[in-house]
Amino acid sequence: MYSTEPPRLFALVPCAGVGERAGAGGPKQYARVAGRSLVAHTLAALAAVERLSGVMVVLSPGDAQFEQAAPGYTGWVERVGGATRAESVAQGLAALVDHGAQPHDWVLVHDAARCLLQPAWVDALIDACQDDEVGGLLALPVPDTLKQEAGGRVSATVERAGKWQAQTPQMFRLGLLRPALVQAGAAVTDEASAIEALGHAPKLVRGALENFKVTYPQDFELAERLLRTR
Ligand SMILES: Nc1ccn([C@@H]2O[C@H](COP(=O)(O)OP(=O)(O)OP(=O)(O)O)[C@@H](O)[C@H]2O)c(=O)n1
Ligand SMILES: C[C@](O)(CO)[C@H](O)COP(=O)(O)O
């Protein structure tokens, strides 16, 4: 189905969010923790993954902060971000094609806001997925009892067995992910969902608790403490 040329691996970093829940007074990916911006930490981790052939960052069209926030970054930058994460990723994939990426190449999509990424976790994902038909994602089994909420109260206890929290990177072939995202639409919250909607079963690769997404105000302090003690 795919070319016999060895596939390359590209990282795609959606970095076009507004960070509403973080309340940082601007896009959270440019907030500083442990001496540099979130996105600079993220890109440093990806730069240390030797098997990546390239890294592309997707920014909002009007972004004027990235270059200052990520000094020294020499990868691709595309100001093609959309209104949702899925749109930003879809636009980034189109830009990757313009840069010569082929359908059989792998794309590892990683949130700019998951700034605690470690190269070893990316390598583990690549090792687990590079010979797989579908691809997969870092994720963690849910360790706590799960509650369904209604109006600030528990309306049900949800079965947690077999449930995992999706993280990033999420690694799929460009030729599978691109049409999957087109079909899934702008509201899909991760790449795996789009792949699942086509009837595939992405591989779950155990991630790390530390690989959390900075989302709420208190997450910055936790990220700061963890990064400073590495
Ligand atoms: N339109 C969007 C929305 C999100 N992202 C990126 O996707 C990642 C995960 O998104 P999320 O944590 O939801 O970030 P925000 O959309 O910035 O946050 P919020 O939903 O609180 O506004 C982030 O690196 C963010 O910059 C993006 O590239 N384009
Ligand atoms: C892709 C993701 O980080 C996996 O957990 C998550 O789905 C992003 O969700 P958000 O709605 O952009 O916060």
- Cβ 92 under 6 angstroms from ligand 1: no
**Backbone region of residue 59 per phi and psi (left: phi > 0; alpha: psi in -120 to 50; beta: other values):** beta
pLDDT score for 5:
87
- Please give the distance, rounded to the nearest whole angstrom, from the Cα atom of residue 189 to the centre of ligand 2: 5
Q: Whose CA is nearest to atom 3 of ligand 2?
A: 167
Q: How far apart are CA 23 and CA 218, in angstroms?
A: 10
Strands 52-58 and 76-78: parallel
pLDDT score for 2:
63
Q: What's the CATH fold of domain 9-139+165-228?
A: Spore Coat Polysaccharide Biosynthesis Protein SpsA; Chain A (3.90.550)
Q: Which of 116, 1, 2, 117 is nearest to 52 (CA)?
A: 117
Q: Supply the pTM of this predicted model.
A: 0.98
Q: Which atom of ligand 2 is nearest to the CA of 215?
A: 13
Helix axes 174-184, 85-98, angle to 10 degrees: 140
Looking at the CA of 13, which ligand is closest? 1
- Please give the distance, rounded to the nearest whole angstrom, from the Cα atom of residue 92 to the centre of ligand 1: 14
- Please give the distance, rounded to the nearest whole angstrom, from the Cα atom of residue 24 to the centre of ligand 2: 18
Q: How far apart are CA 13 and CA 108, in angstroms?
A: 8
DSSP 29: G
- Please give the distance, rounded to the nearest whole angstrom, from the Cα atom of residue 219 to the centre of ligand 1: 15
Residues 6+ apart with CB under 8 A from 135: 106, 129, 170, 171, 172, 173, 176, 177, 195, 202, 203
pLDDT score for 1:
60
The residues facing 150 across adjacent strands are: 153
pLDDT score for 221:
98
- Please give the distance, rounded to the nearest whole angstrom, from the Cα atom of residue 195 to the centre of ligand 1: 20
**178-189 pLDDT per residue, tens:** 999 999 999 999
Mutational pocket test of ligand 2: of 137, 181, 188, 189, the residue with most ligand atoms within 8 Å of the beta carbon: 189
Q: Which atom of ligand 2 is nearest to the CA of 189?
A: 7
Element containing residue 43 per DSSP (H, E):
helix 38-47
Residues 6+ apart with CB under 8 A from 67: none
- Please give the distance, rounded to the nearest whole angstrom, from the Cα atom of residue 7 to the centre of ligand 2: 27
Mean pLDDT on 64-69: 98
Q: Please state, as a whole number, how many other Cβ atoms lie within 10 Å of the Cβ of residue 79.
A: 16
**111-146 pLDDT per residue, tens:** 999 999 999 999 999 999 999 999 999 999 999 999
**30-45 pLDDT per residue, tens:** 999 999 999 999 999 9
Looking at the CA of 78, which ligand is closest? 1
Q: Whose CA is nearest to atom 12 of ligand 1?
A: 215
Map out the domains of the chain as residue ranges.
9-139+165-228
pLDDT above 90: residue 101: yes
Mean pLDDT on 218-227: 98
pLDDT score for 11:
99
Looking at the CA of 212, which ligand is closest? 2
Q: What is the ipTM of this complex?
A: 0.98
